[in-house]
Amino acid sequence: MSKWFKFILGIAISIILLLLAFRKVDFGLILRNFSQVKIGYLISSVLLGMIILLLRSYRWKQFIEEYKNCKLINFFESINIGLFFNNILPFRMGDLVQAYMVSKKTGVPKSLSLSTVLMERFIDLFPPIISIIIGSFFIILPQQVSIILSVSVLFFLITGVIFIFKFRNLILHFLGKISSKQKFWLRILSLFKNFYSAIDNFKNVKILMKVIILTLLLWTGYSTGMLLVCYSLNINLPSIWAGYLIQAITALSVVIPSSPGYVGSWEFMGSLALSIFNVEKDKSLSFALLSHFVGMLPVLIFGLIFVIKEISLVKKVSKDSIYETNQKI
């Protein structure tokens, strides 16, 4: 399947999900909901999103702590630039940009930085799945969020982790054999070696506990942000746990093939999450739209600032290089 076919498919899915999300919705009611928003809650959610980005950068830093001690600002800038490009470019190219930027800033090998980005994404798959499984014991989930599917995905994730750990030597030996024939497999071998190097950091109990605690804090932060958006729309929820479940279901939008920025998939899953608590369609869609905007705003602000900074640095280096060349002449 070609990349462009996936891109077109993602656009088509986004359009379909947008049509489903906006079906039988009174736009007048949505505008009224927006006009009655409590701004204080939204500002709090945006500020919380900024803190979450800092925590996420600190967690990412732990993945290579044993390999090299680097400044937190390098990770903060790189993660914001990566997420910024994920919102405007197809094929999750922002992940590659994120890995490249931190490698450039810290001197860490590109294959190692990429492996830590992939590991970060992999770890973030667990909280929403576990939240959905636990939530299914207390509330009836919609058909689109199957408990059987969630348990199956969790099973395959755990099985994959066990396989990767148990057959480490076998995997590296196999890749070592075929990498001698093709350059592509040599890169894959390097990626796996650095992936295992990043995993080896977790043998340090202190780092492992930091990552676990930070992941729990991040998930609580994301869920609290969802609650704040709900409160801004005067949506009353039965308990704090509702925030975790709403975040879990909405977070599934990032794994659905869609356009850059998860347009359509976020709106559909976000409104679906609120329907569990019998929230009116216009309010649930208002929530999905607002939560999408509030979630993207910190990334767009920081990302744009750091992209402009990088462009300025490149221009400065280029000018200095031209000046030095002219001086020699």
pLDDT score of 258 more than 60: yes
Q: Which long-range contacts (CB under 8 A, 24 or more apart) does 27-32 make?
A: 29/282, 30/282, 30/285, 30/286, 30/289
Q: Select the highest-mean-pLDDT range: 5-9, 85-89, 137-141, 211-215.
A: 211-215
Measure the CA–CA gap between 197 and 190, rounded to whole angstroms: 10
Measure the CA–CA gap between 122 and 59, rounded to whole angstroms: 13
Tell me the Ramachandran region of residue 280: left when phi exceeds 0, alpha when psi lies from -120 to 50, beta otherwise.
Answer: beta
Residue (of 7, 15, 4) closest to 265 by Cα position: 15
Residue (of 319, 320, 310) closest to 105 by Cα position: 310
Residue 318: is it exposed, middle or buried by C-beta count within 10 angstroms (0-12/13-18/19+)?
exposed
Tell me what pLDDT residue 44 has.
97
Q: Rounded to a whole number, what is the distance in angstroms from the first to the last CA of the chain?
A: 52
Would you place residue 81 in the very low, low, confident or very high pLDDT band (cuts 50, 70, 90)? very high
Measure the CA–CA gap between 201 and 204, rounded to whole angstroms: 6
Mean pLDDT of all residues in 20-41: 93
Would you place residue 174 in the very low, low, confident or very high pLDDT band (cuts 50, 70, 90)? confident
Mean pLDDT of all residues in 114-124: 88
Instruction: Give the residue with greater pLDDT, 18 vs 5.
Output: 18
Measure the CA–CA gap between 281 and 144, rounded to whole angstroms: 16
Q: Select the highest-mean-pLDDT range: 118-122, 157-161, 175-179.
A: 118-122
Give yes or no for a contact between 76 and 57, defined as CB atoms under 8 angstroms apart.
yes
pTM of the model: 0.87
Tell me what pLDDT residue 102 has.
93
Give yes or no for a contact between 242 and 268, defined as CB atoms under 8 angstroms apart.
no
- For 91, list phi and psi in degrees, rounded to 5: 60, 20
The dihedral through the CA atoms of 17, 52, 284, 237 has a sign that is positive
Instruction: Give the residue with greater pLDDT, 203 vs 288.
Output: 288
Tell me what pLDDT residue 324 has.
65
Tokens of 159: 């099985």
The mean pLDDT value of the chain amounts to: 86
- Helix (H) or strand (E) run with residue 230 in it: helix 205-232
Give the DSSP letter string of 33-83.
HHHT--HHHHHHHHHHHHHHHHHHHHHHHHTTTTT----HHHHHHHHHHHH
pLDDT score of 155 more than 90: no
Mean pLDDT of all residues in 72-96: 92
- Helix (H) or strand (E) run with residue 220 in it: helix 205-232
- Helix (H) or strand (E) run with residue 294 in it: helix 281-328
Tell me what pLDDT residue 323 has.
58
Tell me what pLDDT residue 28 has.
93
Cβ atoms within 10 Å, residue 53: 20
3-state secondary structure of 318: helix
- For 156, list phi and psi in degrees, rounded to 5: -70, -35
Tell me what pLDDT residue 297 has.
94
Tell me what pLDDT residue 99 has.
93
Between the alpha carbon of residue 252 and those of residues 10, 21, 42, 115, 325, the distances in Å are: 15, 15, 22, 22, 53
